[in-house]
Amino acid sequence: MFKKLAGFFCATLCCASVSASEGLITLKSAHSVQDTVDKLESVLKSKGMNVFGKVNHAEGAMKAGMELKPTQVVIFGNPKVGTPLMQCARSVAIDLPQKALIWEDDDGQVWLGYNDPAHLAKRHGIEGCDEVLKKVSGALGNFAKAATS
């Protein structure tokens, strides 16, 4: 069942790939880290999602006297989306709210990554919740595409 779901998720997300980090879907961004973060935050809010916070890891590194290329995490969610997942498997709450990682690599390319719902399903043994997972996957893919294009 999980292979079938994983195939659906990958087919749904053209331009996306599951990266070397297991369970992380990544998309190249056409924008800077900050512009990608701003676009993501805007699309999330326009779709009724709550943006709970942002973590600027590069800023934290600078405060500690270290350097890190631009790296930010956006934390977001909506109980109407997250609750059905938790009803399927309560342990998925450790991975909620959702997070998006936006970073600049060593070549200056900006990326947006987020947890693959198929990976979360496997990790938490979620079964019988295909429609919920399909909805979450579609929404995350749409948010990511809107922020990176």
- Blockwise average pLDDT, block size 10, the chain, 149 residues: 40 46 93 98 97 98 97 96 94 97 98 96 94 95 98
In CATH terms, the fold of domain 32-105 is: TATA-Binding Protein (3.30.310)
Contacting residues for 128 by C-beta, under 8 A, at least 6 apart: 88
Q: What's the pLDDT at 17?
A: 54
Sequence ranges of the domains in the chain? 32-105
Q: What's the pLDDT at 65?
A: 98
Strands in 17-18's sheet, in edge-to-edge order, are: 17-18, 24-29, 110-115, 98-104, 71-77, 50-56
Phi (first) and psi of residue 108, to 5 degrees: 90, 0
- The helix or strand, by DSSP H or E, that contains position 55, with its residue range, turns out to be strand 50-56
Q: What's the pLDDT at 11?
A: 37
Q: What's the pLDDT at 12?
A: 38
Where does residue 81 fall: left (phi above 0), alpha (psi -120 to 50 degrees), or beta otherwise?
alpha
Q: What's the pLDDT at 4?
A: 41
- Reported pTM: 0.85
Cβ–Cβ < 8 Å for 101, 73: yes
Half-sphere exposure for 102 (CA within 13 Å, toward CB)? 25
Q: What's the pLDDT at 77?
A: 96
